[in-house]
Amino acid sequence: MARKHHLGLILLIGSVTWTLAQDSCDGEDLDHDGWSTEDGDCNDTDPAIHPGAEELCDDIDNDCDGAIDEVTSLDDSFDDGVLNTCAWSYATGGAGVSGEEIDGVFQITFEPDANGDSFSASLTTTCELTGDYDIQVDYVLIEWPSFSGVRVGLASDDGNMERVGRGEGECTDPCEQYLTHFDDGVQGIVGTTDEAGTLRLVRSGTIVSGYYSDGAGGWTLVHSYDTGSDAPVSPRIASWSHDSTFGDETVVIAFDDFLVNAGTVVCP
């Protein structure tokens, strides 16, 4: 025999109070999300909450697994207009730089008066990757003047894979570059005209390598370096500049589709 649950609804009409009762049976899907209480729906009045739903950073158990705000994946397409602060830590440095999740990307803007010894905006994962890993992120240069002096990077504790626009005072041909910046310094400088692409970092053992997409579905290796360590890392996407290199013009860049292709994710 099916058990019945009674949901009370109180209506106030003038000075008369009416109480209506709505009966629901186990197995009935009240919010029409495809899941009933009997199926494991932990809130059958909200269609966004059910087993298998996306876990949001909102102090609610969205996927009905008994845990609240757990990070189930570091992959992020930045397409919901709200930064997942359970997965990412947002930071800025200096003045005149800001970042926001908007229009399906994470966008960073440098105002013409941005300044500081180093000024930046970044997202760092709240979780770590252990052992071998393979991460990548797409980038787009939305407003990118000549001699911008701005760096766009995919980074970890092992170092950076960067798309760089050199400032006028620091430019030695080529001024538009890909490069790595590990503990062995700036290496593997490659000239480019790319206004969009993908940056990639791979660690195998203690060897870390930086790549960029070749535009034909493959990868171009920039440089590899033996860090001597396979310690856990926190991936980061960032854009930054310096007073000594910045071109004092508006710069807008965007990141999209951050992916962890390989690696063990460990969250606090």
- The per-residue pLDDT for 15 is 46
**Host H or E run for residue 233:** none
Contact 48, 63 (CB under 8 A): no
For residue 90, the number of C-alpha atoms closer than 13 Å in the C-beta half-sphere is 13
76 domain-assigned: no
CA distances from 256 to 75, 217, 227 (A): 10, 17, 28
- Mean pLDDT by runs of 10 across the 268 residues of the chain is 44 44 63 89 91 80 81 88 92 98 97 96 97 98 97 98 95 93 97 98 98 95 98 98 96 98 93
Contact 96, 108 (CB under 8 A): no
Buried b (16+ CB within 10 A) or exposed e, 113-143: ebbbeebbbbbebbbbbeeebbbbbbbbbbe
Note whether 114 and 225 are same-domain residues.
yes
Alpha helices in the chain (DSSP H): none
Note whether 27 and 63 are same-domain residues.
yes
Containing structural domain, residue 232:
88-266
Note whether 182 and 244 are same-domain residues.
yes
**Amino acid identity at 150:** V
Note whether 43 and 92 are same-domain residues.
no
Q: Which two tokens stand for residue 60?
A: 């609610």
Cα gap 147→35, rounded to integer Å: 56
- The per-residue pLDDT for 52 is 83
Residues 6+ positions from 202 with CB-CB distance below 8 Å: 133, 134, 135, 208, 209, 211
Note whether 154 and 54 are same-domain residues.
no
Cα gap 153→138, rounded to integer Å: 10
Cα gap 100→93, rounded to integer Å: 15
Note whether 162 and 31 are same-domain residues.
no
Domain tally, the chain: 2
- The per-residue pLDDT for 205 is 98
**Amino acid identity at 108:** I
Note whether 136 and 241 are same-domain residues.
yes
Q: What are phi and psi of 56, to 5 degrees?
A: -100, 165
Cα gap 3→199, rounded to integer Å: 56
Note whether 104 and 160 are same-domain residues.
yes
CATH number, residue 232: 2.60.120.200
Answer with the one of 18, 35, 70 that is the final residue of a domain.
70
CA distances from 214 to 97, 139, 256 (A): 30, 14, 17
77 domain-assigned: no
Note whether 54 and 113 are same-domain residues.
no
Contact 72, 86 (CB under 8 A): no
Note whether 112 and 218 are same-domain residues.
yes
